[in-house]
Amino acid sequence: MKHAVDGRKFGRNTSHRLAMFRNMANSVIEKEQVITTVQKAKEVRRVVDRLITLGKSGSPASRRLAFDRTRSHDVVSKLFSTLAERYQGRPGGYTRVLKVSERRWGDAAEMAVIELVDHPVIDRKKKVKDVAVEGAAGSSEKKDLAPQDTFNRFRKLFSPKSKVKGGGHAGGSMGKSAAGRKTPTSGGGSKSGSSSS
């Protein structure tokens, strides 16, 4: 008889695996759509469906148990209000797993979308600013949108007009360590041993 075959281990110990399921279930409930690997999606589906069933019961004991499993007040309030009303007539199967055609870069893992059934349309595109709003804001936003010179700070430090000591070598300002140093002259003061005669 095979023992301990229920559930995938994912190469993690128990506490790490439970924390991963908790975080992923919270993300699915909050965002209603998450992209992950097929195996993780199939395991998280079990966690999310049980949490939604708890939310449908509505009792205070179920609310405490849901908070114990999610550790998030926002997730619990959404479970017991929005999702409980949405899935009141559905006896189960609150999530679906849809496979994605592209595999993940790096390990080529099969990817999938896990989402709540009957969720509202989710718009994940970046918002484009209106031209009228941008024109009314003035030139202050145009300064922010202009590309910034990342090396400008270093150019200021090493420019000849720099006020930092030792920043620019032009201008003859030498540090304390260079003030006591003697420079060899062309007439016989060097220690190299060469004579001028």
DSSP class of residue 135? H
Give the chain's domain count.
1
On average, the pLDDT of the chain sits at 82
Q: Which domain holds residue 36?
A: 14-116
Q: Are 39 and 8 in contact (CB under 8 A)?
A: yes
Q: Is the confidence at residue 140, as pLDDT, over 80?
A: no
- The pLDDT value recorded for residue 158 is 72
Q: Is position 178 within any domain? A: no
Residues whose CB is less than 8 angstroms from the CB of residue 78 and which lie 6 or more positions away in sequence, other chains included? 29, 30
Mean pLDDT value of segment 1-25 = 94
Q: Is position 20 within any domain? A: yes
Pick from 44, 85, 89, 80: nearest CA to 62: 80
Q: Is position 157 within any domain? A: no
Q: Is position 53 within any domain? A: yes
- The pLDDT value recorded for residue 18 is 97
- The pLDDT value recorded for residue 66 is 97
Q: CA-to-CA distance for 88 and 17, rounded, in angstroms?
A: 30
For residues 13 and 141, which has the higher predicted lDDT (pLDDT)?
13
| CATH code at position 111 | 3.90.1030.10
- The pLDDT value recorded for residue 153 is 66
Token pair for 28:
């699915």
Mean pLDDT value of segment 161-181 = 53
Share of residues in the chain with pLDDT > 90 (%)? 56
Residue type (1 letter), 183? T
Q: Is position 94 within any domain? A: yes
Q: Is the confidence at residue 166, as pLDDT, over 70?
A: no
- The pLDDT value recorded for residue 137 is 56
Q: Is position 167 within any domain? A: no
Q: Are 172 and 179 in contact (CB under 8 A)?
A: no
Q: Is position 141 within any domain? A: no
Q: CA-to-CA distance for 40 and 8, rounded, in angstroms?
A: 9
Q: Is the confidence at residue 59, as pLDDT, over 90?
A: yes
Residue type (1 letter), 102? E
Q: Is the confidence at residue 9, as pLDDT, over 90?
A: yes
Q: Is the confidence at residue 174, as pLDDT, over 70?
A: no
For residues 174 and 31, which has the higher predicted lDDT (pLDDT)?
31
Q: Is position 110 within any domain? A: yes
Q: Phi and psi dihedrals of 15, rounded to 5?
A: -65, -40
For residues 142 and 26, which has the higher predicted lDDT (pLDDT)?
26
- The pLDDT value recorded for residue 57 is 94
- The pLDDT value recorded for residue 152 is 72
Beta-ladder partners of 113: 35, 98
